[in-house]
Amino acid sequence: MGFSFAENGYSLLLLYGLPFFFKSSKFQEAIIQPSSPLDKVHSYSPNLLVHEGHQTILVTKQEILHIQSSPPYVLIHTPSRKYLHKTTLGKIQEELQSDQFIRIHKSTIVNIQQIASFRSRQNGDYDIVLKDQTLLRLSRNYASDFKRVMGSITQDTTI
């Protein structure tokens, strides 16, 4: 029995043409990138999704004291416990409100509302004391942004 294009050609075109149809951008976006309710939790919620092992925990952003980098993880400090979350400090900083959190060191982000005091080390760096008496170092590389933010806060209220 012989092979003829007329008999099997349309089947071959359909079979081998199907992958090209699925690679079209509109079809691929509709299938691969559905809208997920969990994506909206990150950007609009006062909570942060923390993946710890096989468990996902909702941590209230308000209760976060500070976050430290410990590659490939970040350590999220709250009054009740510490959470080890597999992400980078840069990615987690994108999820946090910039008016509530500020980077004070290449490895530390702090909740501005948790700062009790700060003082200069006379070398460009600063010591920051949180309300729970945690002592953090403010690097001179981040000092100008910190002073600007704290200056706008201290004009309205006292720390």
**Third-level CATH fold of 63-156:** OB fold (Dihydrolipoamide Acetyltransferase, E2P) (2.40.50)
For residue 112, the one-letter residue type is I
Domain range summary for the chain, segments of one domain joined by +: 1-34, 63-156
The count of C-alpha atoms lying within 13 angstroms of the C-alpha of 62, restricted to the half-sphere facing its C-beta, is 2
CA dist 145 and 122 (Å) reads: 18
Question: In this structure, are residues 159 and 117 in contact, taking their beta carbons and an 8 Å threshold?
Answer: yes
Backbone angles phi, psi at 96, to 5 degrees: -95, 150
Question: In this structure, are residues 120 and 126 in contact, taking their beta carbons and an 8 Å threshold?
Answer: yes
For 84-136, write each residue's pLDDT tens digit: 998 899 999 988 877 899 999 999 999 999 999 999 999 999 999 999 999 99
For residue 45, the one-letter residue type is S
For 28-69, write each residue's pLDDT tens digit: 443 434 444 444 444 457 888 888 778 899 999 999 999 999
What pLDDT, on the 0 to 100 scale, is given for residue 23? 54
